Amino acid sequence: MPNDERVDALENKLKTLQLYYAAALADSTVRYGNEGILDKITAQKKAEQTAGGAGLAARFGVAEPKHAFEKIRDAYGCADWVCTETGSGFEAVASKCTLCAIARQMGRFSPCQIHCLSPIEAMVKGVSPDAEFVVAGTLWDSGACKVTVRTK
């Protein structure tokens, strides 16, 4: 098999695994929601991720806050995060997200906080503890996911 075909095959396998992973996360969100424990599990996971934010950032190779969005985008191929510098930090915007789309088809519970925003926030604060992380909207409730990160 020529090298180009091997690369294409690996890229297709990666995309398939990313899709399966997004579907599994969407499924867990629906199941937690149906059991009435989504908010509780989300809060528990956020506390755990926040406590281990520096370690999580290190595992993903996040050295500065913007990298958290970029590394998640590249690893999971889910949300198409684009970061734009501002005077006091940056704004991250995603206009599409596979996880959100799958979860919407499966039920009425948003996966945004539990599976995306909380881990990203943990990594941002893991490398910049004084950073301000403000969610202006998510794809679940608006036309885009928008986060402003202000670094001090």
How does DSSP classify residue 150? E
Per-residue pLDDT of the chain (152 residues; tens, 9 = 90+): 678 888 889 999 999 999 999 999 999 999 999 999 999 999 999 999 999 999 999 999 999 999 999 999 999 999 999 999 999 999 999 999 999 999 999 989 999 999 999 999 999 999 999 999 999 999 999 999 999 999 97
Domain ranges of the chain: 3-150
CA separation for the pair 51, 56 (Å, rounded)? 10
3-150, CATH topology level: Muramoyl-pentapeptide Carboxypeptidase; domain 2 (3.30.1380)
Say if pTM beats, i.e. exceeds, 0.75: yes
Vertex 49: Cα angle to 99 and 142 (nearest 5): 35
Asked if 140 and 112 count as a contact pair (C-beta separation under 8 A), the reply is yes
CA separation for the pair 101, 22 (Å, rounded)? 10
Asked if 79 and 96 count as a contact pair (C-beta separation under 8 A), the reply is yes
User: What confidence score (pLDDT) does residue 3 get?
Assistant: 81
Give every CB contact of residue 78 below 8 A, 6+ residues apart in sequence: 18, 22, 72, 97, 98, 99, 116
